[in-house]
Structure 1
Amino acid sequence: MTAFVAALDLLFADPNLSTPALYQQAGIGVEQPLRVMRRSPDRMVEFGAARLVSDSVVLDVRVSDCPELAAGDRFEIAGEIFVVQGTPKRDRERLVWTVELLPWWPDPHADVTG
């Protein structure tokens, strides 16, 4: 174990910096408990000549917890479900994913009766 990995383990275990979440690959299968670092920065969005400020949700997740993280994967945090938007990006050391999330809405046309 490198010093970087040991430091990350301590940071992700700290309840002041991280929060518990459930991860589900491609939105199907078993949910995996893990800890994530959640940020909610304002984003500037241009719409024609107008500039709008939009809320966003960004997560930092250890690569060791989600080695194959991809668009469409889901996270549940404090009862809210989010879906990974776009391609996750790894840090230089390949230890942490940074992902942007969108709120997940169930498909109203999906057959829920089985």
Structure 2
Amino acid sequence: MNAFTIMVDAQFEDPNLGLDAIWRAGSAETGLPVRIRRRSPEAIIGAAGNQFDLDAMLIDVRLSEVAEPAEGDQIDLLDEDNAVTETVQVIGLARIDARRLVRTCEVAPVLPDEPEDEEP
């Protein structure tokens, strides 16, 4: 283990930076307990004379825990009591850090299914 791995692990294990989660590859029923870092960068971009507020939700995951994150994977975010607070789905894969320790993924909330209208 080198200094970079120790630093990354310390960030993920820090209760102020890392969150407990369950990673479900391909939206599987069962999942893998992991630690993630949640980021919500915000930017204002300009295009054709207009300004747009770009609001993305990103998470970082250690590649030592999830070797191959993929679009469609779902992540249950947990609170201190290990109850699911939110479920998000990977919608895009961003960068891998230079040391190949952490992958950044773009995620979006998974909305609950709306009840189907029953016909009389």
TM-score past 0.5 threshold: yes
Is the Cα–Cα contact under 8 Å of residues 62 and 103 in structure 2 kept in the other structure?
yes
Alignment correspondent of 1:28: 28
- Cα 1:26–1:49 change in 2 (3 A) is farther
Is the Cα–Cα contact under 8 Å of residues 43 and 53 in structure 2 kept in the other structure?
yes
The worse-fitting range, judged by mean Cα deviation, of 48-57 and 93-102 is: 48-57
Aligned length: 110
Alignment correspondent of 1:87: 93
CA RMSD of aligned residues (A): 2.3
For residue 46 of structure 1, report the CA deviation from its aligned partner.
Answer: 6.0
Is the Cα–Cα contact under 8 Å of residues 71 and 88 in structure 1 kept in the other structure?
no
Structure index of larger Rg: 2
Structure 2, unaligned runs of 5 or more: 79-84, 116-120
Paired residue secondary structure (1:59):
strand
Alignment correspondent of 2:109: 103
Structure 1, unaligned runs of 5 or more: 110-114
Alignment correspondent of 2:76: 76
Q: Describe the superposition over 1:27-82 as per-residue Cα deviations: whole angstroms up to 9, x where unpaired.
A: 11412111111111114366765322143211111001110101111111141111
Alignment correspondent of 1:53: 53
In the alignment, the residues of structure 2 paired with residue 25 and residue 4 of structure 1 have an alpha-carbon distance, to the nearest angstrom, of 27
- What code does the residue aligned with 2:44 have? M
- Cα 1:4–1:102 change in 2 (3 A) is same
In the alignment, the residues of structure 2 paired with residue 13 and residue 72 of structure 1 have an alpha-carbon distance, to the nearest angstrom, of 25
The ranges of structure 1 where at least 4 consecutive aligned residues each deviate by more than 3 angstroms after the TM superposition are 43-50, 106-109
What's the TM-score once normalised by structure 2's chain length? 0.77
Is the Cα–Cα contact under 8 Å of residues 93 and 104 in structure 2 kept in the other structure?
no
In the alignment, the residues of structure 2 paired with residue 83 and residue 16 of structure 1 have an alpha-carbon distance, to the nearest angstrom, of 23
What's the TM-score once normalised by structure 1's chain length? 0.81
The alignment status of 1:12 with 2:18, answered yes or no, reads: no
